[in-house]
Amino acid sequence: MICTVQERRQEPNGEYVYKVHYLPLGLFDTEDVIGEDGLVNWYESTWIPRGAISFAEKPYSTDIFLEGAFRHPIQIPDDIFPKPWQGFEGTLYW
């Protein structure tokens, strides 16, 4: 789940532990995540070890989502495209 490190502390054994703000899993409804003030309702953790925290790619941040990235469907060959489907133009919902 998404989190941000708020505090860091070094333990006597030299390892670091962290306090994070996080969004619990299962909060998919906007009203659970965004408060009345329009700010994100973060939850606060206690001290947690380094192994509980990692990084992932931010959604839509990899090169396949770059502006101008290649998009094109594969062409259905003429000889197998059914005649009754030719000329069909569907309606957009939007």
Partner 1 sequence: MNAEQFTKDFKALAQSTKLPFQVQEELWTMINGLPFHSRLFNAMPSKFDQVDKVISEGIRSIYQPHSTRSVTELDRIGRCLDKIQPGARSTIPQAGRGAFATRLIRKGEVVIGTPLIFTPTDDFYRMYQGDWIMQSAPPDRNNLKRMQLIINYSWKHPESSLFLIPYGPLAQLINHNQTQANVRVQWAKHGEMSQNHAWLTKSPEAIFPSATPGLFWDFIAMREIQPGEEIFLDYGDDWEKAWTEHVKNWKPPIDAEDYISARQWVQENPDAMLRTEEEQGIDPYPDNFEMRCIADIIELYTAEENLTNDQAKDLWHEKAQSSEYSTKTSSNATEATISLSKLLFDV
Binding-site member from 20, 35, 37, 39 for partner 1 (CB under 8 A) = 20
Tokens standing for residue 23: 């969004």
User: Per-residue contact track with partner 1, 30 to 69, x per CB under 8 A?
Assistant: x--xx----------xxxxxxxxxxxxxxxxxxxxxxxxx
Q: Quick check: helix, strand or coil at residue 38?
A: coil
Q: Quick check: helix, strand or coil at residue 85?
A: helix
Q: Terminus-to-terminus CA distance in the chain, angstroms?
A: 33
Binding-site member from 12, 25, 37, 39 for partner 1 (CB under 8 A) = 25
Yes or no: say if 20 and 51 are a contact pair by the CB < 8 Å rule. Answer: no
Q: Tell me, what amino acid is at 38?
A: G
Q: Quick check: helix, strand or coil at residue 19?
A: strand
86 sits near partner 1 (criterion: CB under 8 A) = yes
9 sits near partner 1 (criterion: CB under 8 A) = no
Nearer to partner 1, 36 or 88 (CB): 88
Where does this chain bind partner 1 (CB under 8 A)? 1-8, 16, 18, 20-22, 24-25, 30, 33-34, 45-78, 80-82, 84-94
